[in-house]
Amino acid sequence: MPNTVANAPDPLVIVVGGSGRHARVVLEAADLAGLPVRGVLSDALPAGETFFGTHRVLGRLNRLQDRNLLQACRFHLGTGDQAVRRSTADTIEAQGGRLGTIIHPAAILSPSAEIGAGTFVAAGAIIGVSAVLAESCLVNTGASIDHDCRLDPGVCVGPGARLAGAVRCEADVYIGLNAGILQGLRIGRGAVVGAGAVVTRDVAAGSTIVGCPARPMKRRSRPAANAN
């Protein structure tokens, strides 16, 4: 999965979810990178309208069942919602469609980095030597992924977050704004690293950690039931 996948000649269709705020970031990056964009799909906007400039709404998300469209284009998930990104990507691929990668021209990528289909790399992000990003990852503005890191499918890295060398993030990990992860650590599947957290040890799957140094978030105990 070479990082040149972003330069594939097939036009992109951007799948807009929610408010469409992240989709605007994606579309601007695609435009600045000179990628052909055929239009957007959205359940919130009527077909024929324009979205963020001159990008035409091609229809609702049910057009992901359209074989002709699936064969003619690549699709990129213009939403920051991890669950929606992953489920929609699965739907597209199950129908025989292809995912398209978008890399902002102001991002810095090592030539040896591997970037999976459907991944988005935002402005100011840095992807280091021999880093591997799998399908449908999201690396936000100014984040850095250092040498030999590996991000499994669906990982989201928040703005300004820092991953030191050889960090492994399993599928669907979320790393918050300005968080830092020390070298060689493993973040388990579906874990959440809170904003500003400094991770100094491996993180268990499904856990939420916060603070500096990061610790598992304490769950609030429920008040005892009134015995009277």
- How far apart, in Å, are the Cα atoms of 193 and each of 18, 53, 104? 23, 35, 25
Q: Are 58 and 40 in contact (CB under 8 A)?
A: yes
Report the pLDDT value the prediction gives residue 9, as an integer from 0 to 100: 65
pLDDT band at 210 (very low <50, low <70, confident <90, very high): very high
Residue entry with tokens 């992924």:
145
pLDDT at 225 exceeding the cut of 50: no
**46-83: burial string, b at 16+ Cβ within 10 Å, e else:** eeeeebbeebebbbeeeebebeebbeebbbbbbbbebe
Instruction: Show the tokens assigned to 191.
Output: 């874990």
Instruction: Show the tokens assigned to 195.
Output: 């904003």
Task: List the end-to-end C-alpha distance of the chain, in Å, as a whole number.
Answer: 64
Report the pLDDT value the prediction gives residue 195, as an integer from 0 to 100: 97
Mean pLDDT of 104-131: 98
Mean pLDDT of 18-26: 88
| pLDDT tens digits, one per residue of 42-57 | 999 899 999 998 899 9
pLDDT at 217 exceeding the cut of 90: no
Domain 106-212 falls in which CATH fold? UDP N-Acetylglucosamine Acyltransferase; domain 1 (2.160.10)
Mean pLDDT of 199-207: 97
pLDDT at 163 exceeding the cut of 80: yes
Among 9-18, 82-91, 103-112, name the most confident range.
Answer: 103-112
CA atoms within a 13 Å half-sphere pointing along the CA-CB vector of 18:
15
In this prediction the pTM is: 0.90
Spatial neighbors of 29 by CB under 8 A, at least 6 apart, are: 102, 103, 104, 105, 120, 122, 123
Among 65-69, 81-85, 196-200, name the most confident range.
Answer: 196-200
pLDDT at 2 exceeding the cut of 90: no
Domain 6-101 falls in which CATH fold? Rossmann fold (3.40.50)
**Can you spell out the DSSP letters for 135-153?**
TT-EE-TT-EE-TT-EE-T
Q: Domain limits of the chain?
A: 6-101, 106-212
Same-fold call for 6-101 versus 106-212:
no
pLDDT band at 70 (very low <50, low <70, confident <90, very high): very high
